[in-house]
Chains A and B, each alone.
Chain A
């Protein structure tokens, strides 16, 4: 059993806003964390990147708040704040001294309720430019920066909500209009599509009352939501994408479709990925980096998603002079062996110990704790997941891990994205 259990209290306001409070008086701060149930998976063709662009506009003023004032008013009270957009959600957050909690909620309610009053073409054009620079900085002008974009497109079929990246395309960003922003806000931003989590120096009663004061007046919106998609099966045959370019060394991404987030199958498959490639003592680390020395580093990770599929990947930086085909063959070989054998006791113990420490490290700060609580309140309906995750992981048996790998990590179901250093690619061509 995990000995640590954070207190959780929940309520839902009359307008549908779900509020979760976790009391913790160790620091005179409160983490305010909002998850809105809209991400790039809700975008329509020709409008990719819109959820994220919209998130930027949330800092450009609202009915009673001037452009930029959200940042300045909170920062001068000692708030650390930002927002992020991802496939499944958009997240707004600030950690404030306890005395600034009400100001933070007032500012959040103003923009979550009344953004459109302050929206201008000038703001849209400016933030469109800023987002383009974000895309150039993080993706276009970064070695391997577009690799994950290729992975999504390779692993998920055309038209699937996760086929396109959250950052979107330059053309679609250019096409965004003020009307789009209005329609997007009206369709997705409402209390009944949002979770508010407050963690820190307050009681549940104080948190609920403050939430009601500031968010209570916001009207519910009419939500038109489709059901989440059914589970996507593993790829039937391997998919390959090769990119030749200005990268320092060959890098492989061997990706797989996964079960949806937080299910026992997802946890079992994620343990398999850890054992094969994620741990510092993983099988591929031992084979490729320590023994064969055909890779300089190996990694393994999974991405929990909700719309019918998740993603897992094994990455390898190919050592100079080594053959990327051989590295890929070795990865497939180790996966096949793992599917045959399953994990041993020491491997399972390592995954649990490593996960427990990193999970408790994440929950150690009130802001990350609030973020995980919002995540599960919004997407899995179970904020108490923060308290049960490690035990759930520990309950998975070696047989379940092996069985999950046998479904989800079969080499013939892989999507391979290779970034190849130009010299070699030219020789190969």
Chain B
């Protein structure tokens, strides 16, 4: 059989994020639209800058309960009827809360955008928060907390934020509240939170999809011009992280008999305003733990077969961020794997090869057109940028900067990250917050023997 020669690859043409058009409503709502031909399902995303720390301490989670009950009925409609109204127009709807604010998502076929926007108007301006619906969502959230705690990966994140952030920082506690706070939330708490925060000023509405033949600004004016403005406020929440004084340590959440251990190894990371640019950081994460051939999985998965896969990523917030490496490993190699992970992550001090850096740059840059091809991906990126105080001009500028990233810039980024995080400053493991969810009776002593810092065992009820 004749051998077919390995083909060469033609470089892709330069690419930019789809162009945005903006429109401001008198009530302060800022509209951003993206016309993406061929995307027949239109994605609507609304960001309302509601700070997480505006929740009363004893009612943490009230924002989440509010988000989930906004569509649970109006003066003229029961919750059931409203669910049916959304469904008959084929509207996919969801709402949630993060430390960047409240967000509402609607996806709808192009022909139903107008009725979908009217349903959004009702959600924003006419919710009644009936006692029964709020109480039901409180009970659902309490059940959800138990479910979240039962999943190793989620449990490790809950323990991580508790260890990583100072107790005074809201980020140290679950976004959706804890059983103690959620169980006390009443419809009056929810209604008060709604009245105070769900207003147009400072809010951003993104509409992306095949908008040909639609006058989206007119449709949005018609639907949302009467949404009350509320007090003036910024479009994003300015905040910074306060880390725990004693965050550099190992916490072992006991799961007797677990056949795997979930882990999360993290440290403070940059935000998108980092000196030297944001672009080198995703490259760094890619080289360390962003693919099956990255440094971590080359050893843990492909050489040793200890894991189905691990991942590293920088998670920027408006102020500060984090660098997280997470996954799960076979129980009997837990401590060995944690040692390998820390050594690989700290091994960045020995530098990066041009080939590694180029692979990371190329992957992130060249996947961009495909990653941002659909209406929902475009709208998600746009609303994420808005909540970060940016626009998708940042996305394009960052991609253009990305292709200039070389070994020196990645090395500088690594050096800056480790210096600020206190990684590599002293003993092995210094600067990292390490959480392991696994069998404490098996792993405590081997983890202590690694010398990565104090090991604390946490036991769930």
Closest beta carbon of chain A to B138's beta carbon, Å:
11
B38-46, B157-165, B222-230, B388-396: which one contacts chain A?
A: B38-46
Interface set, chain B 330-360, CB cutoff 8 A to A = 330, 358-359
Does B7 lie within 8 Å of A143, measured CB to CB? no
State in angstroms the CA–CA spacing of A110 and B359 once bound together: 22
Closest to B92 in A: A357
Closest to B43 in A: A361
Does A249 lie within 8 Å of B146, measured CB to CB? yes
- Of B12, B139, B308, the contact of A78 (CB 8 Å cutoff): B12
Q: Does A220 contact B (CB under 8 A)?
A: no
Q: Does B152 contact A (CB under 8 A)?
A: yes
Does A28 lie within 8 Å of B359, measured CB to CB? no
- Of B12, B40, B80, B86, the contact of A4 (CB 8 Å cutoff): B40
Does A141 lie within 8 Å of B139, measured CB to CB? no
Q: How large is the interface on A (under 10, 10 to 19, 20 to 34, 35 or more residues)?
A: 35 or more
Interface set, chain B 354-389, CB cutoff 8 A to A = 358-359, 362-363, 365-371, 373-376
Q: Does B136 contact A (CB under 8 A)?
A: yes
Q: Does B196 contact A (CB under 8 A)?
A: no
Does A361 lie within 8 Å of B376, measured CB to CB? yes
Asked if A71 meets B293 with Cβ closer than 8 Å, knowing A98-B12, A141-B259, A360-B109, the reply is yes
Total A-B residue contacts, Cβ distance less than 8 Å: 205
CB 8 Å contact bits of A338-358 with B (1 = contact, 0 = none): 000000001001100110111
Q: Does A326 contact B (CB under 8 A)?
A: no
State in angstroms the CA–CA spacing of A247 and B143 once bound together: 11
Q: Which residues of chain B have C-beta atoms less than 8 A from A129's C-beta? A: 304-306, 330
Interface set, chain B 131-152, CB cutoff 8 A to A = 136, 139-140, 142-144, 146-147, 149-152
Asked if A246 meets B150 with Cβ closer than 8 Å, knowing A29-B369, A358-B92, the reply is yes
Most chain B C-beta atoms within 10 Å of own C-beta, residue among A4, A247, A366: A4
Asked if A71 meets B260 with Cβ closer than 8 Å, knowing A24-B38, A357-B108, the reply is no
Closest beta carbon of chain A to B176's beta carbon, Å:
14
State in angstroms the CA–CA spacing of A109 and B2 once bound together: 13
- Of B39, B108, B151, B258, the contact of A364 (CB 8 Å cutoff): B39
Q: Which residues of chain B have C-beta atoms less than 8 A from A354's C-beta? A: 87, 90, 92
Asked if A141 meets B260 with Cβ closer than 8 Å, knowing A79-B367, A130-B301, A350-B87, the reply is yes
Q: Does A133 contact B (CB under 8 A)?
A: yes
Does A99 lie within 8 Å of B9, measured CB to CB? yes
Closest beta carbon of chain A to B91's beta carbon, Å:
7
Asked if A78 meets B365 with Cβ closer than 8 Å, knowing A26-B373, A99-B12, A346-B84, the reply is yes
Does B369 lie within 8 Å of A97, measured CB to CB? yes
Q: Does A76 contact B (CB under 8 A)?
A: yes
Q: List 10 A-B contacts (CB under 8 A).
A: A24-B38, A29-B370, A71-B293, A78-B366, A99-B11, A103-B7, A127-B305, A213-B4, A219-B1, A289-B136
Residues in chain A within 8 A of chain B (CB atoms): 4, 24, 26-29, 59, 64, 67-68, 71-72, 75-80, 95, 97-100, 102-103, 106, 109, 125-130, 132-134, 136-138, 140-143, 213-214, 217, 219, 246-249, 279-281, 285-286, 289-290, 293, 296-297, 317, 319-320, 346, 349-350, 353-354, 356-358, 360-361, 364-367
